[in-house]
């Protein structure tokens, strides 16, 4: 697969990464043996960039990746692991508190290293900013972890351009991760340009719109514990509005001979050379389909047509329920 560069640590990664969150929670039940087989298949396809967080499954997701790493010790230098700290939740609850305090960061990093079974984390994100902790304190703590060799690169998630500039002035930021897709375009307002200016990679999560943009999501058949039940744009009148847009999108994808998912990913890759989408899936056929998107070249007219179809003014509903907005900067 084609590669892109994680800035400031000069680490090549696959142009499309694998978001692993759904292997542990939020999208219904999962099977560890199937997840491990999928991780193996991803590596076979040339995908080497794997995204996790300590809060996903309350450590389960990192433990799962630890098993994967243990099975591929000889390839550890080629496997790029990203994980996160900062969201603290009670089991069985989506509600959370945020913690970026130095003591918490150091303990969280130690715990993640233990679960992952590795000596270092390639990319360590602040999952959400806790404004009770001065950014200088957070960044100095993370910089010390780089010096110690516990982490290689520092990342930020869902931050503003102002926060990125402030953090980057203390220690180079390797990547910013935020939701970015055809129907979630907020980063285009300022953040993407700030990343380009500072030489910071941009990692796009939920590039398939939590599977809604694939045209295959049946919202009425979601499992009881599926997070998407609470997403405003997937409910009520907003859902009806957005389904009409996806129907038009599906027609375009068919006309251009791509799947919806491939077109979502190709749009990101063709539009921005510093963007790395991380698409999550638990199914091998979708993993293979997604990986093929790295080979697609779109014409500028096609990109423009998709931009207009998914103009933010056409999208109804928020991307998160109220409890999910904590720590997200605009």
Please give, one letter per residue, the 3-state secondary structure of 240-300: HHHHHHHHHHHHHHHHHCCCHHHHHHHHHHHHCCCEEEEEECCCHHHHHHHHHHHHCCCCH
The answer to whether position 229 is within a domain reads no
**257 in a domain, yes or no?**
no
Beta bridge partners of 125: 84, 155
Report how far residue 325's alpha carbon sits from residue 230's, in angstroms, rounded to the nearest whole number.
13
CB atoms within 10 A of CB 256: 15
The CATH code of the domain that includes 89 is 3.20.20.100
At residue 27, the pLDDT reads 63
Instruction: pLDDT tens for the chain, 330 residues: list them.
Output: 999 999 899 999 999 999 999 898 766 667 999 999 999 999 999 999 999 999 999 999 999 999 999 999 999 999 999 999 999 987 766 667 999 999 999 999 999 999 999 999 999 999 999 999 999 999 999 999 999 999 999 999 999 999 999 999 999 999 999 999 999 999 999 999 999 999 999 999 999 998 889 988 777 787 777 768 778 898 889 889 999 999 999 999 999 999 999 999 999 999 999 999 999 999 999 999 999 999 999 999 999 999 999 999 999 888 876 667 667 897
Look at residue 147 in the predicted model and tell me its pLDDT: 98
Domain hosting residue 85, numbered range: 3-211+262-296
Residue 194 domain-assigned (yes or no): yes
Q: 43 in a domain, yes or no?
A: yes
Is there a domain that residue 288 lies in?
A: yes
Inside any domain, residue 247 = no
Which of 283, 285, 293 shows the shortest CA–CA distance to 261? 293
Q: How many CB atoms lie within 10 A of CB 182?
A: 22
Chain Cα centroid distance, residue 125: 11
Active-site residues: which are they?
56
Q: Is residue 121 part of a domain?
A: yes
Tokens at 93, concatenated: 């609850």
Residues with Cβ within 8 Å of residue 313, at least 6 apart in sequence: none
Instruction: Give the per-residue pLDDT at 325.
Output: 66
- Average pLDDT along the chain: 93
Looking at the structure of the chain, the number of domains it has is 1
Chain-centroid distance of CA 90 in Å reads 22
Q: Is residue 231 part of a domain?
A: no
Query: In terms of DSSP H, where are the helices of 54-208?
Result: 60-71, 102-116, 135-148, 161-168, 191-198
Identify whether the C-beta of residue 260 lies closer than 8 Å to the C-beta of residue 251: no
pLDDT of residue 62: 98
How far apart are the two ends of the chain, measured CA to CA in Å?
33
């Amino acid at each position: 697969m084609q590669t892109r560069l994680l800035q400031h640590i000069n680490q090549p990664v696959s142009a499309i990464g694998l978001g692993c969150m759904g292997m542990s929670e939020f999208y219904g039940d999962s099977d560890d043996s199937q997840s491990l087989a999928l991780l193996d298949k991803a590596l076979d396809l040339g995908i080497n960039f794997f995204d996790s967080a300590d809060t996903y499954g309350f450590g389960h997701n990192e433990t799962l990746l630890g098993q994967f790493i243990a099975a591929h010790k000889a390839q550890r230098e080629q496997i790029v692991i990203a994980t996160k700290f900062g969201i603290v939740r009670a089991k069985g609850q989506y509600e959370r508190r945020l913690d970026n305090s130095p003591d918490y960061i150091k303990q969280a990093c130690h715990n993640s290293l233990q679960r992952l079974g590795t000596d270092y984390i390639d990319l360590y994100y602040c999952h959400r900013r806790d404004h009770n902790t001065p950014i200088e304190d957070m960044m100095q703590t993370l910089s010390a972890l780089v010096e110690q060799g516990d982490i290689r690169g520092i990342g930020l998630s869902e931050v503003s351009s102002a926060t990125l500039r402030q953090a980057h002035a203390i220690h180079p930021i390797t990547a910013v991760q935020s939701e970015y897709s055809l129907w979630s375009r907020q980063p285009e307002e300022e953040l993407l340009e700030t990343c380009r200016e500072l030489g910071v990679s941009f990692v796009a999560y939920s590039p398939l719109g939590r599977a809604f943009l694939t045209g295959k999501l049946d919202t009425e058949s979601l499992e009881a514990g599926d997070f998407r039940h609470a997403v405003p744009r997937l409910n009520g009148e907003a859902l009806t509005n957005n389904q009409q847009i996806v129907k038009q999108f599906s027609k375009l994808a068919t006309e251009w001979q791509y799947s919806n998912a491939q077109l979502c990913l190709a749009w990101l890759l063709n539009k921005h050379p510093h963007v790395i989408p991380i698409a999550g899936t638990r199914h091998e056929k979708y993993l293979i389909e997604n990986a093929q998107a790295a080979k697609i070249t779109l014409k500028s007219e096609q990109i423009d047509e998709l931009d207009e179809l998914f103009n933010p003014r056409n999208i109804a509903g928020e991307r998160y329920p109220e409890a999910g907005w904590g720590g997200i900067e605009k």
